[in-house]
A and B are shown apart, each in its own frame.
Chain A
Amino acid sequence: MSDAAISRAVHPWWASRRLGFLAAALVIAALPMMLTGNYWQTNLTICAINVLLALGLDFILGYAGQLNLGQSAFYGLGAYVSTLLITRLGVPFWAAFAAGVAFAGLAGMILATFAVRLRGHYLAIASLGFAVITYQILLNWINLTQGPLGIYAIPPPPAITIPGLPAISFRNPVALFYLVAGVTLLVYFILDQLVRSPIGETLTAIREDEVSAASLGINTALWKVFAFGVGAAVGGAAGCFYATFVGTLVPDAFFITESFTILAMVIVGGMGTLIGPVFGAVLLTLLPEVLRGVGDLRLMVYGAVLTLVVLFMPGGLVQAARVVGARLGLSR
């Protein structure tokens, strides 16, 4: 048998993984054509932003095992830092985007450095405290953020001009969806590489048993800071896109309940997998839209679903799919 054949036999998933990314790219390309109209295209972009948020939290919670209730803060920091750089200082969009992502990631690392000795519940409360402080700062630092009045008329990303082709303007909602979804797919790819590398194994070792991991010579503090940095930066990217997509910013979009919503997406999808939170985010974004009748009870549905999933199917949709797959005799 050739090396390649052995490799294929040992890693049969490699081939299908590439196929999976190709299929995902095709689905993303096809979605705006199948679901036309402003209403659906708006929802598609919100789905993509929420997937990004859920992926960031899942990296911290599902892989490193750290319960981060501060994702709303990183989301808000990414949104406000990038927007203020664009509207106040006239910084170009992509530079402001990079700054927003970097700022959120750095904030995550600083919080983790503070909280790195803490585990489980203490970390949950420290991160919740961070989210409360961030929200209050956004609300009260009126000279900078305009507080509850909000920031208006945030421009879309600048048009991309490729010589010989018509310019791609992001005032077009479909183009903006392709941009956000494309970046989300890229983030998924990077995270997928990360979690299947030795780094991913290190993080899961910390999640399963921090003391044993430390006794094997793993610098657990360093890796937790790393996981927080990556997850928070991804949350920050979602914030940048949110600001430019919605066009207005108010602190209430980043209240601590947003952290719980993102948590529900990760748990419902299946934490500790990357594909789970993608479906969790899409499901919980579209579910209230499908159930238009419940109206204001949107968040009540989130809460109920979150509790029921933890109680009866803690592996989320991924676990449900495996159970169904096993029943149908599809799994290995």
Chain B
Amino acid sequence: MTATIVAQQAINGIVLGSLYVLVALGLTLIYGVLVQINFAHADFVTLGAFAAYFVMHALGGQYLLGIVAALLVGAALGWAINITVFAPLRRKGNELLPLIATIGVSVMLQNAMLAWFGPVPYAFETPYSQKVFRVAGTFFTLQSVIIIAVSATTIALLYAFMKFTFLGKALRAVAQDRETAGLMGINPNTLIMLTIVISSALAGMGGAMLAPVLVLTPFAGASVIVKAFAIVIIGGFGNVEGTILAGLLVGLIESFTTQYLDPGLIDIVVFGLLLLMLAFRPTGLISERREENV
């Protein structure tokens, strides 16, 4: 009995964690090339979720097309925030101003959504949430299988892109040393744009898959993003492997806290861990370079 509960919560935790990974990877990638945080990333998650919801309903239950729509909406938002906020502020060279500006964008988007969609939660039932499998006493839905499959594929593709393609190598070169990469003929502006668009597309897609798990309101993304911040710090900012590990860890912490403690304590446990990491191991789970922010 107890073993089944543990197995069940482990499954739930990994499903949730893989979605957190999608959201957190975007933050980490942007931090890698730009050394900036996009606070509005949260709202890209929410807008992706709403896009998926409306497209799915317009097309009569085509959830997978909804995910694609969310991905495109995320990418478009990433493009927009780069040309309006990050690119103009990069020329000013202040490290805190872009973060503050994106806080403004986030507050604006959240309240625009509140005006538009209202505060009442949307019931996001996908055609796949009803189909339940039973394996050795544990339950999982087709929805969670899709979540795991899509996130694992996306993460693997992203990893392969970063490791093996020229563009991916150029991206890592910019992350390591923007000026030297520029001297080697790599245009950092193009790569920064590309990174923000990819990251925001991940956020939108993550939102499309998170929405059926969470309660879909204009603030859905905000509750996810605070955990995503915790994940990128626990994993080490700019560190892709660390982020994946930390994302799964936070997903597991969440499901086991819900089971054995109290759902109200999730944020306290996650952020307690965050503060402990900051105090004792600020470079993250997997140590790397990047001592300058510590």
Known: A117-B282, A136-B264. A67 touches B107 (CB 8 A): no
Q: Does A314 reach chain B (CB closer than 8 Å)?
A: yes
Nearest CB to that of B113 among chain A residues? A300
Enumerate B247-282 residues with CB–CB distance to A below 8 Å. 262, 264-265, 267-268, 271-272, 274-275, 278-279, 282
Known: A300-B111, A304-B108. A126 touches B275 (CB 8 A): yes
Interface size on B, residues (CB 8 A): 48
Interface size on A, residues (CB 8 A): 43
The answer to whether A267 and B100 have CB atoms under 8 Å apart is yes
Contact of A303 among B106, B264, B265, B282 (CB under 8 A): B106
The answer to whether A125 and B101 have CB atoms under 8 Å apart is no
Q: List, in ascending order, chain A residues with CB within 8 A of B107's CB.
A: 257, 260, 264, 299-300, 302-303, 306
Instruction: Tell me how far the C-beta of B290 lies from the nearest C-beta in chain A, rounded to whole angstroms.
Output: 11
The answer to whether A120 and B96 have CB atoms under 8 Å apart is yes
The answer to whether B278 and A115 have CB atoms under 8 Å apart is yes
Q: Does B137 reach chain A (CB closer than 8 Å)?
A: no
Q: Does A186 reach chain B (CB closer than 8 Å)?
A: no
Among A130, A302, A311, chain B packs the most CB atoms within 10 A around the CB of A311
Q: Does B131 reach chain A (CB closer than 8 Å)?
A: no
Contact of B230 among A129, A130, A305 (CB under 8 A): A129
Q: Does A307 reach chain B (CB closer than 8 Å)?
A: yes
The answer to whether A300 and B115 have CB atoms under 8 Å apart is yes
Q: Does A29 reach chain B (CB closer than 8 Å)?
A: no
Contact of B293 among A65, A119, A129, A140 (CB under 8 A): A119
Enumerate A232-258 residues with CB–CB distance to B below 8 Å. 256-257
Q: List 14 A-B contacts (CB under 8 A).
A: A67-B99, A114-B279, A115-B279, A119-B294, A121-B237, A124-B99, A128-B226, A129-B229, A129-B274, A133-B268, A133-B271, A260-B106, A297-B111, A300-B115
Extra pairs beyond A300-B115, A314-B92, A314-B94 (8, CB < 8 Å): A114-B279, A122-B294, A125-B37, A128-B229, A132-B226, A133-B268, A140-B265, A306-B104
Q: Which 3 pairs from chain A and chain B are nearest by CB?
A: A303-B107, A303-B108, A306-B104
